[in-house]
Structure 1
């Protein structure tokens, strides 16, 4: 964690995977307008902003743009120099790292791991966060190697605007998803859902304890009392309008 904090990915590393509400995401996609990059809701226009990315996930925004080359001349040599391991020999050519390879080589550290080993593990973990959480492609279990050179010095990683890059990819995926032939959707969907539930709390579900509950074996139960907290929310619905 100290190395992830140093690189500016400490908060992002603490993001926990939770179930995505695809009905909510689909509803937002239907209201997305590519020409303005905003959601057109019945009574307001709104969008995910850089402030949302920075506040919710602690990613740097007001710094240098994330730029890199798409083709790495010697990928194996690059992996050996930074990760001290490579998925292929020195003669092989590849442009992506599989998550399975990253986990197999860096998921477990010994109690007496050296500082070099800790740095390599942190770099590998950040690569997994980038490709698996922050900027995932649809149906892809790999991360592009182009991000690895940016992690060479953990002290300078936070000098790149990862937040704006994440937001730009989310915008791109939202625009792509509005096309009739689009099937899957990539991008930081956790950010989209978290933003929606934070900015519009009335969209939050009533809780998992309600789903699947029926009257079997509960004869005579006062359901109005059992669900009084949700009844109160409903009765106060006019104060919760957008």
Structure 2
């Protein structure tokens, strides 16, 4: 079926914006999530439980609360928002960049959790063997730990992407529902449900949203499975 017939111009714009927001949110969050997983998974310091709780707070808080906190922190007149706008030209409130920030924060705990579980599954004896052979800690991480974490990193990234695609509460509170600028897929679905005759377009967007999310989840499982298989073969050759 022709996309132009299946989706209205407004719906296609919302879909394109959601993909853009989700990709940026995932890409920017990924290195931070790896670092957070290392700190909470391997770090031994006072207050580690508190840090871990703060990282997972977006999973517990109502999304509207997260959006409001972002608004008072990154709004144009807020201290952080005003500083970033003045010195770096970064504006988040009521911009697509703010939608990416909100989506990234909401998906961040899922990404950290998947990466941390993968890190905890790494056999410490392999790292010890590399260190015994004279490898520096950073080299051990880059050549042993990080490759073994790949399945978890892939899973976490795609789960975060899928979560970002479905983000609504924090986004609409922080950046609003501006067509072409901040109206993502969930916001467009909500808008269609509020107008007469909008049930049809809303259902089509729901179908697209389900298809994208399922593709992401199935894709993550297939990619992670392939990565685990390759790592298993590599370990077998090393033995």
TM range (shorter): under 0.3
Which structure shows the higher strand fraction?
1
> How does the TM-score come out when normalised to structure 2?
0.25
What's the TM-score once normalised by structure 1's chain length?
0.25
